[in-house]
């Protein structure tokens, strides 16, 4: 439950080195919120931190901090990052000029910025107050007691250590990372009775030590829901990417008792994207993590139940119910099922790659590793949108970024806006007609063998970081024998099941399958797992909503 809040002791803070701007922000905040909150004004990051520490000692709460980006000595991003240590639950807003929007967007990933506002914010009734209203509502819905942080001790080049950090980050679980070589890391290992040979060590907020934990054990220990609250639902959604989250929002908001089951972390591949610029309603772009967080909170607000780290291994038909089986042997059932399992990154089949995965070789954007790439040469394998988005993001800190592309150009597989950005970024280069023949390194990636597909010539290059985006394969093998798929494993639905206008032989109803319905009545598909889907975030969300509409139609006729 959210802790009771005393408005008289709850603060809205504004920080700006320009006295005129500082007074204007404080004036607008007092005009709207002065009766319910205390507005505190500071004119530098240093003085604001001093004020925050005093507020902490007195036991006051801070709900929102609004900081200007361009301040001397300590800019707004640096200040907000340090403010996290004092008030981790405060909502953070960055005031910025249009020229600094890239820095603001980057801050969404670096310090989990909640929002940025362009100056001037006039009229506040349209540009300031709606943002603050939403942030205050979200803040009031949370518990404001001090947050104990999960600690992770691991080795920099440990695949499992990297996977645990990625799991926690994508599930928005606060954690602190300690190298096993650092003094604090060694102290935690000693306290847990470990010699450092088995890593990672995870210490949960209640002091429980977990050694090399599996995702499900880790999820349960850090407070993520892993067990369903019921045996039967109206709707089970399998997969928590954009399609699954879209279905969860619409299913729960329209009165269906809905549960979403995700094997790793909500967001899918889109949730790992550093920046999505062509999603409707976000003209300045949005990170996959931010979009996922908003969708997840929206689904939860309507009452959707979300299970994490649960692997689905089977689907059975039992009369009117559809039974979903988990890897541990347990099961839940529902009137209808939406398959939104998405796709997984295709593995790069070259000598040395498998052995170095997680130790310099990563699939997907692996945003938790981005900071460590600063000043290094980075190689990205692939030429589609995911590769382009990762290249733009990593180029902000990397010494150089090289796109390794099998085709003659990225223009045939990458959106035009990304092609333009890649061409305009001086630290990004494209090696066309090139493939990775091998990865080399003892304990971490050290070199790559690149081959020109036209001449057959090879080159050995130094490399510590390689991110792979070479297409995707559907996660549908577990449906073999139940749901019909195409030769590549993508699920057939609606018209694809009736090419001659006749329902499939095993179809048991008088009507033909609905557009997103499989050969099993009441089992629908949305998103990338569907044959001939558009493979775009917007279309996946739309299919999630459409699938819920068809579920309602199915239930009405059952």
Per residue in 251-299, pLDDT tens? Answer: 999 999 999 999 999 988 888 787 788 888 888 788 888 899 999 999 9
Angle at alpha carbon of residue 510, lines to 508 and 511, rounded to 5°: 105
- Model pLDDT, residue 2: 44
Angle at alpha carbon of residue 434, lines to 432 and 440, rounded to 5°: 135
Are both 7-140 and 232-344+473-557 of the same fold?
no
Residues 395-401: what's their mean pLDDT?
93
CB count in 10 Å sphere of residue 147: 12
CB 379 within 8 A of CB 404: yes
pLDDT-derived band at 109, boundaries 50, 70, 90: low
Element (H, E) at 296: helix 288-301
Specify the residue for token string 């558009």: 534
Instruction: Give domain 353-470's CATH superfamily.
Output: FAD/NAD(P)-binding domain (3.50.50.60)
pLDDT-derived band at 144, boundaries 50, 70, 90: low
User: Pick the residue with more confidence: 100 or 282?
Assistant: 282
Give alpha helix (H) positions in 359-504: 385-394, 416-424, 494-497
- Exposure string (b/e) for 482-493, b if CB count within 10 Å is 16 or more? bbbbeeebbbbb
Per residue in 169-196, pLDDT tens? Answer: 889 888 989 999 988 888 888 888 888 8
CA distance 125 to 119: 14
Domain covering 7-140 in this structure, CATH number: 3.40.50.2300
Length of the chain: 558
Angle at alpha carbon of residue 173, lines to 170 and 178, rounded to 5°: 100
DSSP labels for 231-284? SEEEEEEE--SHHHHHHHHHHHHTT--EEEEESS-TTHHHHT-S-B-SSTT-TT
Give Dmax over CA atoms of the chain in angstroms: 76
DSSP labels for 334-353? EEEEEE---EEEPPP-STTH
Residues 409-423: what's their mean pLDDT?
94
Token pair belonging to 64: 């929102």
- Model pLDDT, residue 1: 38
- Three-state helix/strand/coil letters over 16-51: CCCHHHHHHHHHHHHHHHCCCCEEEEECCHHHHHHH
Closest CA to 448 of 540, 356, 374: 356
**Could you tell me the fold of the domain covering 232-344+473-557?**
FAD/NAD(P)-binding domain (3.50.50)
Instruction: Give domain 150-221's CATH superfamily.
Output: Glutaredoxin (3.40.30.10)
Token pair belonging to 227: 């067990």
Q: Output the CA torsion sign for 299, 302, 307, 308.
A: positive
How far does CA 482 lie from the centroid of its chain?
31
Average pLDDT in the chain: 90
In degrees rounded to 5, what are phi and psi of residue 341?
-75, -10
CA distances in angstroms from 419 to 272, 386, 394, 402, 543, listed in the order given:
20, 12, 15, 14, 27
Instruction: Round to the nearest angstrom and report the end-to-end CA distance of the chain.
Output: 39
- Model pLDDT, residue 456: 96
pLDDT above 90: percentage of residues in the chain: 65
- Model pLDDT, residue 528: 94
Per residue in 31-72, pLDDT tens? Answer: 999 999 999 999 999 999 989 888 876 778 999 999 998 888
396 has pLDDT over 60: yes
CA distance 423 to 410: 10
Closest CA to 469 of 413, 386, 408: 386
Domains of the chain by residue range = 7-140, 150-221, 232-344+473-557, 353-470
Angle at alpha carbon of residue 390, lines to 389 and 394, rounded to 5°: 125
- Model pLDDT, residue 4: 46
Angle at alpha carbon of residue 200, lines to 196 and 205, rounded to 5°: 110
- The order of strands in the sheet holding 465-468 is 361-363, 465-468, 377-381, 400-404, 428-431
- Model pLDDT, residue 149: 79
CA distance 282 to 536: 15
pLDDT above 70: percentage of residues in the chain: 96
- 425 preceded by a cis bond (ω within 30 of 0): no
Residues 196-201: what's their mean pLDDT?
90
User: Pick the residue with more confidence: 117 or 458?
Assistant: 458
DSSP labels for 190-239? HHTT--SSS--EEE-TTS-EEES--HHHHHHHTT---S-S-SEEEEEEE-
In degrees rounded to 5, what are phi and psi of residue 424?
-90, -5
């Amino acid at each position: 439950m959210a802790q009771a809040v005393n408005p008289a002791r709850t603060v809205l803070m504004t920080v700006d080195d320009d006295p005129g701007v500082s007074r204007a922000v404080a004036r607008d905040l007092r005009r709207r919120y002065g009766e319910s909150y205390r507005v505190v004004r500071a004119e530098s990051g240093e003085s604001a931190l001093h004020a925050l520490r005093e507020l902490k000692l007195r036991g006051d709460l801070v709900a929102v901090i609004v900081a200007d980006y361009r301040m001397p000595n300590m800019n707004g991003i640096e200040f907000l990052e340090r403010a996290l240590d004092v008030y981790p639950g405060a909502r953070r807003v960055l005031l910025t000029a249009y020229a600094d929007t890239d820095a603001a967007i980057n801050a969404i990933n670096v310090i989990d910025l909640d929002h940025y506002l362009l100056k001037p914010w006039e009229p506040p009734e349209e540009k300031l107050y709606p943002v603050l209203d939403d942030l205050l509502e979200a803040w009031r819905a949370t518990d404001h007691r001090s947050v104990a942080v999960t600690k992770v001790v691991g080795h920099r080049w440990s695949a499992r250590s990297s996977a645990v950090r990625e799991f926690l980050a994508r599930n928005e679980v606060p954690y602190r990372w300690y190298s096993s070589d650092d003094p604090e890391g060694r102290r935690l290992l000693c306290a847990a009775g470990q010699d450092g040979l088995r890593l990672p060590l995870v210490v949960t907020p209640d002091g429980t030590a977990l050694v090399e934990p599996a995702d499900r054990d880790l999820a349960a220990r850090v407070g993520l829901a892993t067990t369903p609250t019921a045996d039967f639902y109206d709707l089970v959604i399998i997969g928590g990417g954009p399609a699954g989250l879209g279905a969860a929002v619409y299913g729960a908001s329209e009165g269906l008792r809905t549960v979403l089951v995700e094997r790793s972390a909500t967001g899918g591949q889109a949730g790992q994207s550093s920046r999505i610029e062509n999603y409707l309603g976000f003209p300045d772009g949005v990170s996959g993590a931010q979009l996922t967080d908003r969708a997840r909170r929206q689904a939860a607000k309507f009452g959707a139940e979300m299970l994490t780290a649960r692997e689905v291994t089977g689907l059975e038909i039992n009369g009117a119910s559809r039974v979903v089986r988990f890897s541990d042997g347990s099961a839940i059932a529902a009137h209808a099922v939406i398959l939104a399992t998405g796709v997984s990154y295709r593995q790069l089949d070259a000598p040395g790659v498998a052995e170095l995965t997680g130790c310099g070789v990563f699939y997907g954007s692996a945003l938790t590793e981005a900071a460590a790439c600063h000043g290094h040469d980075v190689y990205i394998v692939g030429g589609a949108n995911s590769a382009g988005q990762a290249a733009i993001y990593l180029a902000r800190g990397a010494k150089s970024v090289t796109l390794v592309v099998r085709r003659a150009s990225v223009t045939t597989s990458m959106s035009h806006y990304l092609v333009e950005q890649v061409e305009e970024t001086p630290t990004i280069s494209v090696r066309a007609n090139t493939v990775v023949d091998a990865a080399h390194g003892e304990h971490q990636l050290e070199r790559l063998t690149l081959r020109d597909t036209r001449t057959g010539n090879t080159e050995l290059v130094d490399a510590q970081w390689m991110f792979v985006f070479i297409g995707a394969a559907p996660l549908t093998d577990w449906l073999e024998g139940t749901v019909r798929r195409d030769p590549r494993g993508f699920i057939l639905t609606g018209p694809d099941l009736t090419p001659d206008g006749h329902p499939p032989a095993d179809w048991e109803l008088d009507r033909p399958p609905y557009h997103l319905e499989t050969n099993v009545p009441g089992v629908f598909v949305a998103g990338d797992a569907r044959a001939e889907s558009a493979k775009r975030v917007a279309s996946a969300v739309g299919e999630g909503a459409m699938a819920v509409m068809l579920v309602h139609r199915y239930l009405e006729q059952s």
